[in-house]
Amino acid sequence: MKKLIILAFLLFAAPLYGEELTGREILDRIDKNYEAKSRVSTATMMIKGRRGTRTITSKSWAEGYEKTFTNYLSPPREKDTKMLKLGDELWIWSPSADRIIKIAGHMLRQSMMGSDVSYEDFMEDPHLGDLYDVILSGQEPVEDRDCYVLELTAKQGKKVAYHSRKIWVDKERYLALREELFAKSGKLLKRLNIHEVFKKEERWYPKKFTFKDVLKKGDGTQIIIDSIEFNVDIPKHVFSKASLRK
């Protein structure tokens, strides 16, 4: 009888143990969930500062993570401002200045459109496995969802905006529902929280999330993905500096 109980336990436990993942494998699944040949999306960004809330809408076109073109639609002050990312280079054009400005060096640390998101955040390579060493440190629930807890530390010689990160990853959907970003000193710099998700073409994607610079006053910047389409054809001319002035 005892042998039968042990055998039954082993048969039951085998598939469970077979599903255990390493931290790197979890990061790879996150990447796979986000990856697409191209994306066209519209979004609403609500910047909740100490003097009130500003709302900005935009439309973006992207090929992989190397090329992104964004056109700001509202409010009137930001309307028709355009931003182009090609690899590790970034340019902005605004109607009021009527000139193309390259964002580089210390300017990358500046706030993007007054939000809690910096240009450096926008430019960072999303493939975290290439930049960080990772360990699976435990499991914790977030918003009643079972999550893996990953701790990331920058690989030696890699240039990153944040020396370390702590990420809570939904065990079913492989989305990072919560993230904390730290300086090399261990000081907490920013937080990311996903509040709502949706399913699109067999993948889970964030619908509503908040990015908070803990060194700034205010309640952070909330971003809502109003619409998104994957793997669509985008004309090549979109990703050119000439498109900034059109």
Establish if 10 belongs to a structural domain. no
Establish if 152 belongs to a structural domain. yes
Confidence (pLDDT) at 98: 86
Establish if 102 belongs to a structural domain. yes
Establish if 231 belongs to a structural domain. yes
The CATH number for 171's domain is 2.50.20.10
Confidence (pLDDT) at 123: 87
Establish if 200 belongs to a structural domain. yes
Task: Name the range with the highest mean pLDDT among 28-32, 94-98, 241-245.
Answer: 241-245
DSSP for 161-202 reads: S-SEEEEEEETTT--EEEEEEE-TTS-EEEEEEEEEEEEETT
b/e sequence 197-228, b meaning 16+ C-beta within 10 Å: beeeeebbbbbbbbbbbeeeebebbbbbbeeb
pLDDT at 4 over 80: no
State the total domains in the chain: 1
Establish if 6 belongs to a structural domain. no
Establish if 154 belongs to a structural domain. yes
Q: Which amino acid is at 101?
A: I
Which of 74, 45, 51, 49 is CA-nearest to residue 209?
45
Domain range holding 136?
Answer: 22-245
Give the confidence band of 19 by pLDDT, cuts at 50, 70, 90: low
Rounded to the nearest integer, the mean pLDDT of the chain is: 89
Confidence (pLDDT) at 15: 39
- Rounded CA separation 96/80 (Å): 10
At 180-216, the pLDDT tens digits run 999 999 999 999 999 999 998 888 999 999 999 999 9
Establish if 4 belongs to a structural domain. no
At 156-177, the pLDDT tens digits run 988 889 999 999 999 999 999 9
